[in-house]
A = this chain, B = another copy of it.
């Protein structure tokens, strides 16, 4: 049975479906009866929920936050829709269609991953090839790479966003590398493929997009570098040694790809390849933010609302 989305619910309907609940609180009415207030959400929106005649036991059994199967009824209260619950039962996250609850890419994940592999396959340097193959062969990591968002908020902040962004930057690189023949193409391609790989571990995206503890303490830049060295160690055990010069050139791209200290890069770009990765990564992130804001952003007339990350409102009237 298809999920009944929050933005499709109208007053007076019977509710019998799985939703995520957030911030449940146990309160007492003026008469002293206990009830539970909570938010009920999926990826299309959020409603208030009320469970009257509640008990502490029921309250304690609720996930905070988490998925529940709920039965109840939608009604209007002070002109706002709310849901009055009769019954709730926690549900394992694994049994839930995550896509109903978290925004996700509208592109085909399988096709995008093939796109990435096709471009990475053109790397000629055998050591860079060995390294990227070692990553591609790590099925668990690649599964996360296909699923993770690229950010909590700023750009490509939906399931599959990391893959979509990585492919998009790879395509830009493929398009412009012939125009800059002195730039080492394989190094650029390997650098882009890996640059945000640590986000698979920095971000948590099982119920909402947030940072893991380790993500906040260490960050995806350092995590990606650690991953690169683990893969090189694994290759070394199999007899394939990667030169320090290759590790440093690739590591430098990872460490410097945010381009400025204040964006968390501990090193500034110092090679042509690091400059190129920094610029086109930023270009793709900005084009995504800008076109997304122009297409979906709020605001009035020809201008979107103020975008803090871009320090401007965006103009959306077209001339062509």
A56 at the interface (CB under 8 A from B): no
Pick the interface stretch among A41-49, A94-102, A154-162, A170-178: A170-178
Q: Which of B176, B185, B219 contacts A266 (CB 8 A)?
A: B219
Q: How many copies does the complex hold?
A: 6
Pick the interface stretch among A13-21, A103-111, A143-151, A267-275: A267-275
- Can you name the residue of chain B whose Cβ is closest to the Cβ of A77? B30
A279 touches B282 (CB 8 A): yes
Cα-based distance from A213 to B303 in the complex (angstroms): 8
Cα-based distance from A204 to B294 in the complex (angstroms): 23
The DSSP consensus for interface residues of chain A is: helix
A309 at the interface (CB under 8 A from B): no
Interface size (A, Cβ < 8 Å)? 83
Which of A175, A183, A185, A280 gathers the greatest number of chain B CB atoms within 10 Å? Answer: A175
- List B contacts of A251 (CB < 8 A): 217-218, 222
- Can you name the residue of chain B whose Cβ is closest to the Cβ of A184? B320
A233 at the interface (CB under 8 A from B): yes
Q: Which residues of A contact B (CB under 8 A)?
A: 27-30, 76, 78-79, 124-125, 127-128, 168, 171-172, 175-176, 179-180, 182-187, 213-214, 216-219, 221-222, 225-226, 229-230, 233, 243-246, 248-249, 251-252, 255, 261-272, 275-276, 279-280, 282-283, 286-287, 290-291, 294-295, 301-303, 310-315, 317-320
